[in-house]
Amino acid sequence: MYAILDIETTGGKFNEEGITEIAIYKFDGQKVVDQFISLVNPEQPIQPFVIGLTGINNEMLRNAPKFYEVAKRIVEITNDCILVAHNANFDHRILRLEFRRLGFEFDRKTLCTVELSKKLIPGQLSYSLGKLVRALGIPLSDRHRANGDALATVKLFKMLLVKDTGKDILKQSVRTEPTLLLDTKLVQILDELPSITGVYYLHNQQGEIIYIGKSKNIRKRVNQHFTNDNHRSKEIQKEVASVSFEATGNELVALLKENEEIKLNKPKYNKRTSKPVFSYALYKSIDEDGYINLKISRADARKQNITTFNGLQQAKSVLQNMVENYRLCQRFTSLHSGNDNCFSHSLKACNGACIEAETPLEYNERVQEMIYKNSYRDQNMLIIDRGREIDEKSALLIEDGEFKGIGYFNLNYQLNNIDIVRSVITPMKNDRDVRHIIQSYLRRNKRLKIIQLSTYE
C-alpha cells in the first residue's frame, strides 16, 4: 500500500518551515482507496516568494486547522504505507519535523518518483514534476498546489509501476507489509484478489517472486493454484505467503508482460525452457512460373517466416481461412497436392491461378496483402486495445517491424504525439515468442484498432 502525497510549506530557514497545505492519496497499486486534502494553518508567516508560487496567502489559512488537528488523520492514512512523493526526502522531512514539534516520532519508508523516473524513464530533459508530466502527456492542474501535484504524482507513479518490469517496487512493498502470511490461510489471500485481467505474482515470506502467471480472471486462476493437487501446486501452497497483481486491461498486454517478466525474474516454479512457444510456421517461396507458394513447416529460427502457430492443426485451420478470405489457390499451399486445378476452383472460390487463368502478378498481389495483414514485419503502427479503466487505452508500439513496448493513455492527443508515445511506452524485448504472441492475438481479434505511424508524418 502506498501513500502518495504532496506538501506545500511556508518556506524559510531549513527545519523551521511549516506546512500550509497537504494532499495524501492512499493507493493500493491499482486505484486510490482513500484520500485526505487540507489547508493547514502553519502558525507562522508565509515567505513572499512562496505566496507568488502557490497562490496560498496568510489570510487563506487564518481559519484552517492547525497541524495538531490533522495529525491523527495523517497517521491513520499513512499507516502501513510506503510514502511516495516527487522529491520524497523533502516531504518526509517536513512531516517528521511537524510531528517532532508535537513530541511524536513519525517515520515511514519512502519512494521518490524523481529517482524512479530517472531509472525507469531515462533521457528526459527535466525531472521536475511539471516538465516531466508534460513530456509524458499526464494532465496537471493547480501546479504548486498540494492536490494538483499529488494527483499528477499518482498518475506518474502508476506509469512507473508498469515500467518497473523487474518488479523492484512491488518486491519492496511486499517485504514492507507482509500482511498475508501462510498461517492466515490461503482463503484470506483469495479474498483480496479481484476477478480482472492481468498478471499475478506469488511471493514467499521474504517477498521473492516464486511464480508469475496471467489470466482473464486472476482470482479464479490463483484459486486453481490453491486447490490443485499436483506436485507443483502443493509446493506452491506450502511456500506462498502473499499474492500481488497488476491489472493490464486486456489479454494481449497480460501475455506480453507474463512472457517478459518470467524470463527476467526466473521464478522457481515457472518452467524454464529455451524452446519457443510455437512449433510450426508459415513460409513462402516463388515457383518457376512466378507464383508465390505457401507452406506450413516445422518452425526454423534460421528461416524468415510469415507467421507462427502453436501446433500443426492450428496452422492448417488458419491457412484454410487465409485461402478462403483472400481467394488463394490451394495448389500453391500445403493444403493441396497434385498438378491439376484445385478443389476451390471447382467451387468458384479460386480465381484460377492453378490453371494459369490468373497471372502471377494478379495472384501475388492478394498473397502479399494477406502477408501484410498477418505479419507486421517492416510495419510502423500502434495496436490499440482496452485499458485498465473505462477512460483508458493500451497501446503497443511497433516500429520497423519490431515490437518496442506497451503504454497506457487517457487522452487521444497523447496517441497523436509520437514523442509522448515513445516516452510513455515501457520498453520491452522483441523476440520470436513476442512476435508469435502478437500475431496470434491479432488473428483472433479482428476488431482491434490499428494506427499506422505514417499518420504522424
Residue 147's pLDDT is: 93
> What average pLDDT score do residues 10-34 get?
91
Radius of gyration of the chain (CA): 28
Q: Which residues pair with 409 in a beta bridge?
A: 393
Query: Does one domain contain both 148 and 22?
Result: yes
CA distance 208 to 203: 5
The 8-class DSSP code of residue 391 comes to: T
Going from the C-alpha of 113 to that of each of 83, 153, 370, the distances in angstroms are: 10, 8, 46
Last-in-domain residue among 242, 265, 288: 265
Q: Assess if residue 46 is contained within a domain.
A: yes
300 and 365 fall within a common domain: yes
Mark whether 345 and 207 lie in a shared domain. Answer: no
| Phi, psi for residue 280 in degrees, rounded to 5 | -125, 155
**Residue (of 140, 174, 170) closest to 155 by Cα position:** 140
Q: What pairing do the DSSP bridges indicate for beta strands 280-286 and 292-298?
A: antiparallel
Cross-sheet strand order for the sheet of 209-215: 209-215, 198-203, 242-247
Same domain, 192 and 45: no
179 and 156 together in one domain: no
For residues 214 and 355, membership in a common domain is answered with: no
* 49 Cα distance to chain centroid: 40
Beta-carbon count within 10 A of 53 CB: 14
Residues 293 and 340 in one domain: yes
Kindly state whether residues 133 and 200 are assigned to the same domain. Answer: no
Residue 156 lies in a domain: yes
Buried-state track 194-218, b at ≥16 Cβ within 10 A, e below 16? eebbbbbbbbbeebbbbbbbbbeeb
Question: Which residues fall within 8 angstroms of residue 139, CB to CB, at 6 or more apart?
Answer: 133, 152, 155, 410, 411
- Mean pLDDT throughout 33-46? 94
> Residue 379: which residues within 8 A CB-CB, separation 6 or more?
372, 398, 401, 452
Per residue in 244-297, pLDDT (tens digit) is 999 999 999 999 999 999 999 999 999 877 677 788 999 999 988 899 999 999
Residue 270 lies in a domain: no
- Judge whether 291 lies within some domain: yes
For the chain, how many structural domains are there in total? 4
Q: Specify whether 7 is located in the same domain as 155.
A: yes
Structural domain for 344, as ranges = 280-374
Question: CA 390 → CA 87, 245, 246, distances in Å?
Answer: 31, 19, 16
Task: Single out the residue in 374, 399, 424 at which a domain terminates.
Answer: 374
Task: List pLDDT tens digits, range 238-259.
Answer: 899 889 999 999 999 999 999 9
Cβ neighbours of residue 347 under 8 Å, at least 6 residues apart?
none
In this structure, are 41 and 123 located in the same domain?
Answer: yes
Rounded-to-integer distance, Cα 421 and Cα 396, Å: 10
Query: What is residue 385's predicted lDDT score, i.e. its pLDDT?
Result: 94
Q: Which three cell numbers stand for residue 244?
A: 500481488
Does residue 272 form part of some domain?
Answer: no
Report the DSSP beta bridge partners of residue 34.
Answer: 26
Which residues pair with residue 247 across a beta bridge? 198
pLDDT in tens, 305-354: 999 998 899 999 999 898 888 888 888 887 766 666 676 666 677 877 77
Task: Return the number of other C-beta atoms located less than 10 Å from residue 413's C-beta.
Answer: 10
**Residue that is last in its domain, among 234, 265, 296:** 265
Q: Which amino acid is at 288?
A: E
Residue 127 belongs to a domain: yes
CA-based max dimension of the chain: 96
* CATH, residue 129: 3.30.420.10
Say how far apart CA 198 and CA 214 lie, in whole Å. Answer: 6
Percent of the chain with pLDDT over 90: 49
